[in-house]
Amino acid sequence: MSDVVPAAPDDVMRHTYDSLIGMWMENFAQNITAVRSGKDLQNLPKKPEACICIGGGPSLKKFNHLKKIKDSGWKHPILTCDKELVNCLEMGLKPYLVATVDASPIIRKFYKHKLVKKATDINAAFNVTVHPLVRNSFRGPVYWYVAMMDPVQDAAGKLNRRSPTYILYLLSGRKAVISGIGNVGSFLWNVATDLQCSPIILVGYDFSEQVKDKAQAVYFPAFTAMYMQKYPNNPEKAQNLAADLHQVEVNKDFIAPFTDLPYMKKGEHPHYLVNPMWKRYRESLAMHIVASKKHTINASGNGCLTTEAIKCENFEASNLEAVLEKYG
């Protein structure tokens, strides 16, 4: 039983922390002056109305959701992940907020476009550990936050003063501490709750993939590397075990509007490729949705955020067109 699947997400997350903690702290050291003198995310003006959170899943492009939002004349706040900011602007949509959680310098490419440089009235939520190149590339108002890396309180509610999150909180000038819930899409949902938005409408929240070759999946290299530590002389076995972690499942909340094999056949429920990491993200977001009691509507059209997996009165799934008509 040495290859038990449920242990994989924890192993990958530990590997990620160990690999990136150095970069996170170096980025923060270079950002500290801007962070301490900058705006606090908890002071971003509230928006007690419907909002749309835009994730970067494949359904967003496949179903032309940005165009549908634009054509609907949507007037309420839009919160977008960094990956989709340029696409929003090119579609004529102006987000209220763009968010970055990741510390990689690669994220800079999402902020280099000329349309982004002109959009100086879009707010940004930046993790204090974002890369300085990202910070220097964005020209709009920046609201800083400390992403929760570990529990800052124990089960009894006692503050852990040795917590890395608590230490960053102090060094940042006591900027808002908020859970990133593991990814920028979930973080946007969390920000929307803090902004008092309702309902919170999700698009591009697949938490899954539709690649034809499992080796092209986002976490395939990480899973392979994890198993290579166990079987350093057997790369084929490591790759096979990584492939075994990826499974095709069905989303019964939606009906495919067209055929795009192997995942979608018109008139039938769409399918998606998922692995334990995506499911871990889903579980984390689900716990927050249930606890918050915030009305959340998944309008992504596919993916593993299903009503079968997230069973609570305040979570539902609906076609985007119906949501836009009702709340736009």
Identify which of 37, 75, 90, 82 has the alpha carbon closest to the alpha carbon of residue 55.
Answer: 82
Q: Which residues pair with residue 178 across a beta bridge?
A: 147
Residues in the chain: 328
Residue 216 buriedness (CB in 10 A; 0-12 / 13-18 / 19+): exposed
3-state helix, strand, coil in the chain (%, to 5): 45, 15, 40
pTM of this prediction? Answer: 0.92
Give the C-alpha separation, 171 to 174, whole Å.
7
Residue in the structure block whose two tokens are 């989303």:
251
Report residue 62 as tokens: 């496949």
CA distances from 5 to 11, 12, 156, 208, 308 (A): 10, 12, 31, 17, 21
Count each helix (H run) and each strand (E run) in the chain, helices first.
12, 12
Q: What is the pLDDT along the chain (328 residues), one digit of tens a residue?
A: 233 333 456 666 676 777 778 999 999 999 999 999 999 999 999 999 999 999 999 999 999 999 999 999 999 999 999 999 999 999 999 999 999 999 999 999 999 999 999 999 999 999 999 999 999 999 999 999 999 988 888 888 888 898 999 999 999 999 999 998 889 999 999 999 999 999 999 999 999 999 999 999 999 998 998 899 899 999 999 999 999 999 999 999 999 999 999 999 999 999 999 999 999 999 999 999 999 999 999 999 999 999 999 999 999 999 999 999 999 8
